[in-house]
Structures are given as structure tokens and as C-alpha cells.
A and B are shown apart, each in its own frame.
Chain A
Amino acid sequence: MISFKQRDVISILHFNKEELLYLLDVTKRMEQTHYSHILKGKVLAALFFEPSTRTRLSFETAMKRLDGMVIGFAESGATSIAKGESLSDSVKTIEGYCDVIVLRHYLEGAAQLAADIVNVPVINAGDGSNQHPTQTFLDLYTIQKTKGTLEGLKIGFLGDLKYGRTVHSLAYALAYFGAEMYFISPPNLRMPKDYMEELKNRHVACHEAESLQDIGKRLDVIYCTRIQEERFADPIEFEKVRGIYRLSKPILEGLGVKDDLKIMHPLPRVDEMDESLDGTNYAIYFEQARNGIPVRKAILATVLGVIE
């Protein structure tokens, strides 16, 4: 029997296929059934050392909709961290105030470090360019809900595949479901070698390209990502790739894409997806963002042991 009680949610690598499907099943129950009061008296500490809108607000909403409480900060400037307190000391202190910690940090591995130190469950809400597992759960849920299956899909990942942690996590997860993956990026933002090797070890059919030409028409889903200026140390390197991909309705039609193609994006977008896409059947990115609520309800309820 699968149980997530007291479990840390750090990396998609820590979850097998059955556990992912279990979580998607609980998410569906969360969406279809009106649960309230199940987290009454529980406190979530949301520790965001890096900016976030959707992840932080959807965790807070999920907790509050289930009658739990939220403490924390959206930036570390007004906390003891600004005085030089270490992450270890911060989480050791804060664990005494809460039942679960949600952590976003600019350093890779921060959530794992916190999980090793504290006794309450730690949920990784993004660690540098490494992992963002709860985004992956909601991405999987969105694909399953809109395509009717997760099995055997042709998925195109477009944009910043080097620093895009959502891409890394989702590619690993989709490897369990026999997906064929197309990685479309400029040469300096290609999927890192480690990830490509890991996917090939898992017998995933992987293809790399620099444009959607000839590929677009094969895809069931395009997972588009923003090219993240904040990850570039050199502004000249960023300027070389800024605005390199711009999806719009006419462009998609020109590519001869399937009628039931779905466009996803972890948001925020800048200029990679034209607003002309918003009202089309292709666009599911706002639905994807909304799915953050049932997914995060499911994660909180399971790690806090109130739902089995």
C-alpha cells in the first residue's frame, strides 16, 4: 500500500510510476470531492528565498482551502537570513513552528539539505535549476486530464532546456510512460548531457532540434518554457537567444500541427507565446496553472497523513 505520510517531496527521481499514478488519483479525488477541515490545526511554513507567484500562492490556497494555516516569507530580505543566518539554522528553527515546510531556494540541493535536517516533511518548490517536482505533478495531471492518457505521447519541449527545471523533472516523469521526446532549443540552451544520458538509459526515444519545422506536426503536446534572463551570468549570451521562439496561432497552423495539439507552459511567459493562442483549443496553460490547487492539496493531505 502506497503512503506518503511524513514523506519529503524533493525530486521526481524519488518517485516510481505507481507512486505518480497514486498521486494523480488523489488529485482527481481532491478535484471531484469537496474536502474541507481536513488540515484544520496544521501549519505550513512557506519559505521562498526566490520569487514565485503561482507556486507560492497555490500552496497557500491549497492549505487554506483545507482549513490549514500558512506562515512564511516571500523573500528573505526581512528575515534573519538577511543577517547571515544559514539555511540549516533557519529550517531547524522553523520546523518547531509548523507541520510541513515548502521551500524554494536559488541553490540546487537546498530542499534535500533541509529534508536531511528536519523531521517535518519538506516539499521542494524549486531548487535553482534542478527540480520542481510539484510542478511536474500538475503537468502530468494536466496532460492526463486533457489527453485522456499519459502513455505513449509525443512531447516537444521548447525553449530553455538547460536551466528549465520544470523540463528536467517532467522529462524524467514522462519516461515512465513511454513518451517520445523532442527537445527544441538554441544550441547553448540544450538539454544537459546528464539528463539526456539518463533518459537514454531509460530507453526513451529522444530527438534534438533547433526549430519546430518538420517536428511540430508530429506532436501531441508542446511544453513551452520561458528563456530565463535571471539564469544568465552574461547578458550578451541572453541577448543572443531572447525571443528566439514565438508561438502564435498562424505559426502553429503553418506548421500543420494536429488539431488536438495542446500547448503547455509553466508560466510566467514573456514573448514566447502570443496572446492570439489564449482562446484556442491548443492553449491549456491557464488550466495547467489552476491544476496547481488540487495537486498541492493532494500533496499536503498525503504527506500530512490525513488522506491515504
Chain B
Amino acid sequence: MKQLDVSAIKDGSVIDHIDSKSTLKVADILNIKAEEDVVLVGMNLTSKYLGKKGIIKIGGKILDQKEVNKIALIAPNATVNIIKDYEVVKKFEVVVPEVIEGIVKCFNPNCISNYGNTKAKQHLINKNPIKLRCHYCERVMGANDIVLI
């Protein structure tokens, strides 16, 4: 039997195939500090596809679409597995949506979306490498410019 680098969880979500360097950022997005159930974080694990990968397992939590979308922006190669009674009941790859609303802060300080109650909004213009165009000020953001709200 294969030895797991990071122990299995009974119920919850597993985010796998995270680019290793982005693991803690993904952990931040998911606000794991607030979790009360088991949380396991692994970095620099061997991956056939990525060389080194990260993995996060969150007990008792089923990720919703908005959270998955956020992960997609930071770790576009990640996969999300939903676990029930140690079995994978749902498996999906993260996909950056065509329109991203209320997730990414526009990096342009003079953009109207950084003032008042305007909800930030971007359009996906390139998937890999990721490029987003602000709906309002039209600035193009790359992966390094992405700051989540």
C-alpha cells in the first residue's frame, strides 16, 4: 500500500497539485487559520507533473465555487477533491472564470473600483500565463499583480 505523504481525512476538501510556492498563499485564501477541524498542509512533495507540489487537506469543509475560483487565480493547475468517509465523491479541476467579480483587487490605485462601494471586476484575457483586464480601468494584471480581496 502506498504511504501517503500527508494523512487522509475522513470528510472535507483536498486541494492537490498546487504549485509548491503558492501553497501558503492558497492556505491564506482559504483562511485555514479559522478552521477548527483537522487541516494538513504539505509542501515540496514530489509530483510527476509539477516537479514539486503542495497539498492542503481541510477536514469538515466543502469548498464552494467562489473559493474554488479564488484558488484558480493563484494555482491554476490545482485540483479539488471532495471527500466523504475517506472516499473521493467529487473531483474537479479549478477553472478561472471568464469574469471575476469581487475577488481580485485592481492594482491601479486610481481605478474607480478602489473607491466607494464599487465591486472589483475583471475579464480573463489569457489563461496561461494568467492575465486579467480590469472591467473599469482596463489595466492588465499578471499573476504577480493579483491581490485578493
Contacts and interface: CB of A to CB of B under 8 A. Distances in A.
Contact of B112 (A11, A109, A129): A109
B110 A107 contact: yes
B140 A109 contact: no
A57 interface: no
Interface in A127-154: 127-131
Interface stretch (B25-33, B40-48, B56-64, B114-122): B114-122
B136 A112 contact: yes
Given A86-B117, A87-B116, A88-B116, A107 B140 contact: no
Contacts of A131: 138
Interface string B108-142: 10111101111000000000000000111111100
Interface in A73-124: 86-88, 105-110, 112-113
Size category, B interface: 10 to 19
Contacts of B117: 86, 88
B142 to A, nearest CB: 10
Size category, A interface: 20 to 34
A194 interface: yes
Contacts of B134: 109
A110 B140 contact: no
Nearest to A89: B116
Given A107-B110, A108-B112, A113 B136 contact: yes
A112 B118 CA distance: 11
Name the residue among A11, A105, A108, A130 with the largest chain B CB count within 10 angstroms.
A108
A95 to B, nearest CB: 17
A197 interface: yes
Interface string A24-37: 00000000000000
Tell me the dominant secondary structure on chain A's binding face.
Answer: mixed
Nearest to A195: B140
Contacts of A107: 110-112, 115
A173 B144 CA distance: 29
A13 interface: yes
Contact of A13 (B113, B116, B138, B139): B138
Nearest to A86: B116
Given A107-B111, A108-B111, A128 B137 contact: yes
Nearest to B114: A107
Contact of A113 (B108, B110, B112, B139): B112
A271 B117 CA distance: 41
A87 B110 CA distance: 15
A222 to B, nearest CB: 26
A161 to B, nearest CB: 16
A113 B136 CA distance: 7
A65 B134 CA distance: 37
Contacts of A110: 112, 136
A198 B126 CA distance: 12
B137 to A, nearest CB: 4
Given A86-B117, A88-B116, A113-B118, A108 B108 contact: yes
Contacts of B113: 109, 113
Contacts of A106: 110
Nearest to A11: B138
A107 to B, nearest CB: 4
Contacts of A87: 112, 116
A14 to B, nearest CB: 10
10 contacts: A88-B118, A108-B108, A108-B137, A108-B138, A109-B136, A127-B137, A128-B110, A130-B138, A194-B139, A198-B140
Interface of B: 108, 110-113, 115-118, 134-140
Among all A-B residue pairs, the 4 with the closest Cβ atoms = A109-B136, A108-B137, A109-B137, A109-B112
